[in-house]
């Protein structure tokens, strides 16, 4: 059995130091060192408040402030001696502060606990990630808008069940994702607004008897207000769960777009050409150009949703207030955030660089009897047929075209009349894919003029 020296931070009541295995399972410094900047910012705000309220002297607060700045620069320069024995980022920073400034360092932890400290640090970190996600999403939306603008009236097949359904415009398809990613931004912003309450000053769980000023620390750290209940402040991680939930939905949207890019860039579809910058080659098949970035983005939802489920499982059933289980909140959030940002950046690059193949889109739009609904609608409008009968008549014409191996516009007027004598030459106007999309002017419909109006609305929104 290997035991170490007593812990300098909490070893007072212990006769022996921890077993090496105890130390290994207990330590979080291996990952929570990522919170160093937030930890130091929180400590600086706390020390300034302790001085302003007369709990510590200005002289001690100044020594703490300068010491913390030195610690910050040491960590940033990469020559900070992180120690597993000191468990986590909070104790590593404080121990180094003590080496640097001596006695005043011991006063920093007055009216504070690692419980409110870690909740504050983690919130500050998640808040930054939310801002980064909004930024990444905004860039992606801009790339989609550029694609939509270039091809606002380009005709392509719209699908249901991945079967050609009705012609739509390329711009309309791009704008569908703009709507989705726009809602993702809304979800991140909602989460940010809800989480922006400061846990600092909740102390271990019950608050403190010192005359602290929680408004002051909340303001200094950019929070809207201090959290109103000390138990809740140290015990909840719903802010991280909300971030992960929004991230999961966003990753799901990314995954769907990625899947379309994989399909569209295949030789069978040729709807888009991905740039060389966002494609990879095969080590055995020289001709290959693979959409690896799209495939990896398609997969990212797996780990991001996994992190979400993981944190739910950690948090469920925990009694109030803090339990060490909660130390297991961080790695999953770090991993999910890193991968979301990477996926957003890669998708933005792919969308920005890709070329839509107008001809291939147009050609595919005219296959699969995609204007059959237009024909049925024409029968209703011009011959006053009930829609069900029009549907039946159209179905017979589709069957006739299919038997002949041609498309609807290739049937002659006599062919048409043989199925319904009332049909006139005017029907051919609605069988063209351009006419089809141009006619869909209902609000939210695929007509190019609608698409252009939506692009303008989004551009204004992004100003």
Q: Which parts of this chain interact with ligand ARG (CB under 6 A)?
A: 28, 32, 88, 114-115, 118, 322, 324, 326-327
**Residue closer to ligand ARG, measured from CB, 247 or 326:** 326
Q: Report the alpha-carbon distance of residue 293 to residue 187 in Å, rounded.
A: 25
Evaluate whether 210 touches 200 at the Cβ level (below 8 Å).
Answer: no
Query: Helix crossing, 114-150 with 170-195: angle to 10°?
Result: 160
Least Å distance between CB 271 and ligand ARG?
A: 48
Least Å distance between CB 87 and ligand ARG?
A: 6
Q: What is the 3-state secondary structure (H, E, C) of 27-96?
A: CCHHHHHHHHHHHHHHHHHHHHHHHHCCCCCHHHHHHHHHHHHHHHHHHHHCCCCCCHHHCCHHHHHHHH
Asked if 209 is an active-site residue, the reply is no
**Residue closer to ligand ARG, measured from CB, 28 or 255:** 28
First to last CA, the chain: 64
Q: Report the alpha-carbon distance of residue 457 to residue 463 in Å, rounded.
A: 10
List of residues 6+ apart from 86 with CB closer than 8 A:
8, 9, 29, 92, 95
**Residue closer to ligand ARG, measured from CB, 88 or 94:** 88
Least Å distance between CB 43 and ligand ARG?
A: 14
Least Å distance between CB 234 and ligand ARG?
A: 9
**Residue closer to ligand ARG, measured from CB, 215 or 232:** 232
Strand partners, 280: 290
> Per the residue annotation, which of 245, 266, 282, 420 is the catalytic one?
282
Least Å distance between CB 114 and ligand ARG?
A: 4
Burial class of residue 329, CB neighbours in 10 A (0-12, 13-18, 19+): buried
Least Å distance between CB 117 and ligand ARG?
A: 7
**Residue closer to ligand ARG, measured from CB, 62 or 331:** 331
**Which long-range CB contacts under 8 A does 213-222 form with residues at least 24 apart?**
213/49, 213/52, 213/53, 216/45, 216/48, 216/49, 216/52, 216/53, 217/42, 217/45, 217/46, 217/49, 220/44, 220/45, 220/48, 220/49, 221/41, 221/42, 221/45, 221/120, 221/124, 222/127, 222/196
**Residue closer to ligand ARG, measured from CB, 60 or 87:** 87
Task: Compute the half-sphere exposure of residue 365: CA atoms within 13 Å on the CB side of its CA.
Answer: 23
Least Å distance between CB 28 and ligand ARG?
A: 4
> Closest Cα partner for 370 from 393, 387, 394?
394
Q: Report the alpha-carbon distance of residue 145 to residue 3 in Å, rounded.
A: 61
Least Å distance between CB 324 and ligand ARG?
A: 6
Cα three-residue angle 32-37-42, rounded to 5 degrees: 100
Least Å distance between CB 40 and ligand ARG?
A: 15
Asked if 282 is an active-site residue, the reply is yes
Query: Helix crossing, 448-462 with 114-150: angle to 10°?
Result: 140
The count of residues in the chain is: 463
**Residue closer to ligand ARG, measured from CB, 118 or 437:** 118
CB burial of 42-68 (b: ≥16 within 10 Å; e: otherwise) equals bbbbbbbbbbeeebbeeebbebbbebb
**Count of CB atoms within 10 A of residue 382's CB?**
15
> Per the residue annotation, which of 28, 161, 230, 275 is the catalytic one?
161
Burial class of residue 210, CB neighbours in 10 A (0-12, 13-18, 19+): middle
Active site positions, annotated: 161, 282
């Amino acid at each position: 059995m290997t035991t170490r020296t007593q812990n300098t931070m909490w070893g007072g009541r212990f006769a022996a130091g921890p077993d090496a295995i105890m130390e290994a399972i207990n330590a979080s410094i291996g990952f929570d060192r990522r919170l160093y900047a937030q930890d130091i910012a929180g400590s600086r705000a706390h020390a300034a408040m302790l001085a302003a309220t007369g709990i510590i002297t200005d002289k001690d607060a100044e020594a703490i402030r300068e010491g913390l700045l030195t610690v910050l620069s040491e960590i940033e320069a990469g020559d900070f001696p992180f120690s597993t024995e000191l468990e986590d980022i909070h104790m590593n920073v404080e121990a180094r502060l003590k080496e640097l400034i001596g006695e005043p360092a011991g006063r920093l932890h007055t009216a504070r606990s690692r419980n409110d400290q870690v909740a504050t640090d983690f919130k500050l970190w998640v808040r930054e990630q939310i801002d980064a996600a909004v930024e990444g999403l905004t860039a992606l939306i801009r790339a989609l808008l550029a694609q939509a603008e270039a091809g606002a009236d380009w005709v392509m097949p719209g699908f249901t069940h991945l079967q050609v359904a009705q012609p739509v415009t390329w711009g309309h398809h791009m704008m569908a994702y703009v709507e989705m990613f726009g809602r993702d931004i809304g979800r991140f912003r909602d989460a940010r607004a809800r989480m922006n309450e400061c846990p600092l000053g909740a102390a271990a769980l019950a608050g403190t008897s010192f005359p602290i000023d929680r408004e002051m620390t909340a303001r200094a750290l950019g929070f809207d207000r201090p959290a109103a209940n000390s138990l809740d402040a140290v015990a909840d991680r719903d802010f991280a769960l909300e971030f992960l939930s929004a991230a999961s939905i966003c990753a799901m949207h990314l995954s769907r777009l990625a899947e379309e890019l994989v399909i569209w860039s295949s030789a069978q579809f040729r709807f888009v050409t991905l740039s060389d910058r966002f494609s990879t080659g095969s080590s055995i098949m020289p001709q290959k150009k693979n959409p690896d970035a799209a495939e990896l983005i398609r997969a990212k939802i797996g780990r991001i949703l996994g992190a979400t489920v993981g944190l739910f499982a950690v948090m469920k059933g925990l009694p109030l207030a803090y339990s060490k289980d909660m130390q297991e909140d961080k790695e999953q959030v770090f991993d999910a955030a890193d991968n979301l940002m990477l996926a957003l950046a890669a998708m933005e690059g792919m969308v920005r660089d890709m070329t839509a193949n107008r001809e291939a889109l147009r050609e595919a739009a005219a296959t699969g009897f995609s204007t059959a609904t237009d024909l049925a609608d024409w029968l209703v409008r011009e011959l006053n047929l009930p829609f069900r009968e029009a549907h039946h008549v159209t179905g017979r014409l589709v069957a006739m075209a299919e038997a002949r191996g041609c498309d609807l516009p290739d049937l002659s007027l006599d062919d048409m009349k043989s199925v319904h004598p009332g049909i006139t030459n005017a029907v051919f106007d609605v069988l063209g894919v351009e006419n089809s999309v141009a006619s869909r002017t209902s609000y939210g419909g695929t007509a190019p003029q609608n698409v252009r109006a939506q692009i303008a609305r989004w551009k204004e929104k992004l100003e």
